[in-house]
């Protein structure tokens, strides 16, 4: 099966090696015999609804976010339509913030979001930096942990009825207070977790790949397990760092 990934602003939003997430999705798909075609969708490049099975956007500092925000706002309809039609989506940190309703940056400048995720983000005076451990339940009864790294000034306030990605076990999360991290709308997930995220969370990489395949097939297929020893070791190291950092909740 061939799946098409739309990589939003790869030349602007690629902080902390977030590009590694695309490499992991591509390899894990290939190891199951699937082909992934990655198409750049950057400033001035068109986003055709229905073209992509998964959309991906990485993180970036306020400066890069300001450089893409207007272009992304102009693409809002295409992204919202893709998500509504069941395309999968992963947004990390700066990209995650711009898929909410708005992001007020460190200098107080308001950047428009596209309103896919039900939240607003406001940069605070201090940065939330360090290793993070989350407990997630993306499928009923299937509790997993996500480990990663966060570095953001933004405080993301979810609407009361919003679905978070996970509960903060250690670290700051969306705002350092609520105990929640990330946000989920259907097959679209946003998170503050860098690392990059996917190499050290193989279950989540496969969940995302299955969602992209579901956009093609109609339902998420069972993916053959891979020998994830190295990935699971990386997860354990990242999780232990988060827990010993003292940010445990």
**Identified catalytic residue from 7, 34, 52, 93:** 93
Distance in Å, CB of 79 to ligand GLN, minimum: 18
Rule CB under 6 A: say whether 62 interacts with ligand GLN: yes
Query: Contact between 152 and ligand GLN (CB under 6 A)?
Result: yes
Site string for ligand GLN, 11-30 (x = CB under 6 A): ----x---------------
Instruction: Based on the residue annotation, tell me whether 136 is a catalytic residue of this protein.
Output: no
Least Cβ distance, residue 142 to ligand GLN (angstroms): 28
By CB under 6 A, residue 82 contacts ligand GLN: no
Q: Are strands 183-185 and 188-191 parallel, antiparallel or unpaired?
A: antiparallel
Q: Name residues whose C-beta falls within 8 Å of residue 219's C-beta, 6 or more positions apart in sequence.
A: none
Q: Is 7 a catalytic residue?
A: no
Which of 99, 85, 127, 120 is CA-nearest to residue 9? Answer: 99
Nearer to ligand GLN, 158 or 213 (CB): 158
Task: Report, in angstroms and rounded to the nearest whole number, the Rg of the chain calculated over CA atoms.
Answer: 17
Taking each helix axis as running N to C, give the angle between helix 20-30 and helix 202-217, from 0 to 180 degrees, rounded to the nearest 10: 70
Q: What's the closest the beta carbon of residue 152 comes to ligand GLN, in angstroms?
A: 3
Q: Which of 34, 52, 152, 194 is catalytic?
A: 194
Part in contact with ligand GLN (CB under 6 A); list of ranges 48-56, 61-69, 138-146, 226-234? 61-69
Token representation of residue 53 = 């099975």
Question: Phi and psi dihedrals of 106, rounded to 5?
Answer: -60, -30
Number of residues in contact with ligand GLN, rule: CB under 6 A? Answer: 14
The answer to the question of residue 93 lying near ligand GLN (CB under 6 A) is yes
Report the relative pairing of strands 88-92 and 54-57 from DSSP bridges.
parallel
Could you say whether residue 199 binds ligand GLN (CB under 6 A)? no
As a whole number of angstroms, the distance between CA 169 and CA 145 comes to 9
Q: Is 131 in the site for ligand GLN (CB under 6 A)?
A: no
Per rule CB under 6 A, is residue 65 in the interface with ligand GLN? Answer: yes
Lookup: tokens for 64: 């890069």
Q: Based on the shown chain and the rule CB under 6 A, indicate whether residue 153 belongs to the binding site for ligand GLN.
A: yes
CA distance 178 to 52: 33
For residues 210 and 90, give the distance between their C-alpha atoms in angstroms, rounded to a whole number.
Answer: 13
Instruction: Answer yes or no whether residue 183 interacts with ligand GLN by CB under 6 A.
Output: no
Instruction: Tell me if 166 sits within 8 A of 190, measured CB to CB.
Output: no
154 lies in the binding site for ligand GLN (CB under 6 A): yes
Q: Which of 55, 123, 168, 205 binds ligand GLN (CB under 6 A)?
A: 123
Question: Peptide bond before 196: cis, by omega within 30 degrees of 0?
Answer: yes
Residues annotated as part of the active site = 93, 194
Q: Provide the binding-site residues for ligand GLN, judged by CB under 6 A.
A: 15, 59-62, 65, 93-94, 97, 123, 151-154
């Amino acid at each position: 099966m061939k799946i098409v990934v739309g990589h939003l602003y790869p030349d602007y939003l690629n902080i902390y090696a977030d590009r590694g997430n695309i490499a992991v999705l591509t390899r894990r798909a290939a190891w199951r015999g699937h082909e992934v075609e990655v198409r750049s969708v950057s400033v001035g490049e068109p986003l055709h609804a229905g073209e992509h099975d998964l959309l991906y956007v990485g993180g970036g500092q306020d400066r890069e976010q300001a450089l893409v925000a207007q272009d992304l706002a102009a693409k809002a309809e295409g992204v919202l339509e893709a998500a509504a039609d069941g395309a999968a989506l992963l947004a990390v940190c700066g990209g995650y913030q711009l898929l909410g309703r708005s992001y007020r940056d460190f200098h107080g400048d308001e950047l428009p979001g596209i309103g896919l995720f039900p939240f607003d983000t406001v940069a605070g005076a201090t940065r939330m930096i360090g290793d993070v451990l989350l407990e997630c339940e993306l499928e009923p009864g299937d509790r997993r942990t996500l480990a990663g790294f966060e570095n953001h000034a933004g405080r993301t306030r979810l609407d009361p009825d919003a679905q978070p990605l996970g509960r903060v076990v250690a670290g700051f999360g969306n705002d350092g207070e609520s105990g929640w991290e990330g946000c989920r709308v259907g097959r679209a997930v946003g998170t503050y977790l860098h690392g990059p995220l996917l190499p050290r969370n193989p279950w989540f990489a496969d969940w995302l790949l299955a969602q992209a395949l579901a956009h093609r097939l109609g339902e998420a297929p069972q993916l053959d397990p891979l020998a994830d020893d190295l990935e699971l070791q990386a997860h354990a190291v990242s999780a232990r760092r988060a827990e010993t950092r003292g940010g445990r909740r």
